[in-house]
Amino acid sequence: MLTQIKGLHHVTSMAADARTNNQFFTDTLGLRRVKKTVNFDSPDVYHLYYGDETGAPGTVMTYFPFPDMGRGRPGTGEIGTTVFSVPEGSLGFWNDRLSKRGVTGLKAETFGEKRLNFAGPDGDGFALVEVRDDNRPVWTANGVSKDHAIRGFHSVAMRLRDEGATAELLKFMGYKTLESRDGVTRLIVPGGNGAGIVDLETMPTIQRGLQGAGSVHHVAFSVENREKQLDVRKALMDTGYHVTPVIDRDYFWAIYFRTPGGVLFEIATNEPGFDRDEDTAHLGEALKLPQQHKHLRPILEQHLQKLED
């Protein structure tokens, strides 16, 4: 069993409109945009990162806004809900704020924990969960105070036709079963970074999801450094997984593999981080380009949609 994985690192999804996406995460949810860059494979598409002040692992929601992309069809084999941690007693504030802003899918639940479900701009499945004593540092902006602000991820929920092989994989990755009820198995990684929970939802009769705007593309798990990442890579390959070589993503190093339930997993390093190419005080303000796309700057600056006025 592995001990190098410390919880979620980031969640990456797709969107249909960059400006709407940016407004939702920075203005409505009060997260900080920590990086404005482009997709390595399609440099005419943004890659936007939202998180806490520094973009700490376990706080970072990232998006590829493909202009006018059609919506995904939710189903199995994907992340159904991405869940953020908020302070105890804050869900009333969030219910008011989200409903005033026309956010859809609002539904409060108490299921061992107080939770508010809501939909993102492309129908993305999100929830806020009240967590006592989540002491992660907080970013406050746009009218969201310290008493209400998102602390980072709480968990992701995967929709699976059969949870068995994915549960086994997560246990191999260092997770332990916390509880099982009503078709949901909750796993947690001991000593995690605050984003240590994964829920597995078994839906044997639901067809496979089709990816599009509002779908999660992949979920990334956090390891401290490249050495630990290589240990994880070797262990996964020895177990029979097809894992990519290590890929430099400028702000972390990444490896990817497809899980038995169909979800794409990434293992990402905490190094070097988002302050690699700009000061923490100004993260996310300037357009940053990967080395191989730097020559495209004049055309991209003209072509990419303005995120704000």
Q: Closer to Zn ion at the Cβ: 173 or 220?
A: 220
Q: Closer to Zn ion at the Cβ: 49 or 94?
A: 49
Q: Closer to Zn ion at the Cβ: 46 or 118?
A: 46
Q: Closer to Zn ion at the Cβ: 71 or 249?
A: 249
What is the smallest separation between the CB atom of 188 and Zn ion, expressed in angstroms?
22
Q: Closer to Zn ion at the Cβ: 156 or 220?
A: 220
Alpha-carbon span 48 to 60, nearest angstrom: 10
Reading phi first (left if > 0) and then psi (alpha if -120 to 50, else beta), residue 58 is in: left
What is the smallest separation between the CB atom of 254 and Zn ion, expressed in angstroms?
6
What is the smallest separation between the CB atom of 253 and Zn ion, expressed in angstroms?
11
What is the smallest separation between the CB atom of 219 and Zn ion, expressed in angstroms?
8
What is the smallest separation between the CB atom of 283 and Zn ion, expressed in angstroms?
18
Q: Which amino acid is at 100?
A: K
What is the smallest separation between the CB atom of 69 and Zn ion, expressed in angstroms?
18
User: What is the DSSP secondary-structure string of 253-297?
Assistant: EEEEEE-TTS-EEEEEEEEE-GGGSS-GGGTTSSB---GGGGGGH
| CA-wise closest residue to 12 among 3, 4, 21, 2 | 21
Q: Are 119 and 73 in contact (CB under 8 A)?
A: no
The first and second tokens of residue 153, run together, are: 């991820």
What is the smallest separation between the CB atom of 257 and Zn ion, expressed in angstroms?
12
Q: Which residue ranges make up the site for Zn ion (CB under 5 A)?
A: 12, 220, 266
Q: Closer to Zn ion at the Cβ: 138 or 169?
A: 169
Alpha-carbon span 109 to 120, nearest angstrom: 18
Q: Closer to Zn ion at the Cβ: 52 or 266?
A: 266
User: What is the DSSP secondary-structure string of 101-148?
Assistant: TT----EEEESSSEEEEEE-TT--EEEEEEETT-------BTTB-TTT
Name 278's Cβ contacts closer than 8 Å, sequence gap at least 6: 285, 286, 288
The first and second tokens of residue 111, run together, are: 């299921």
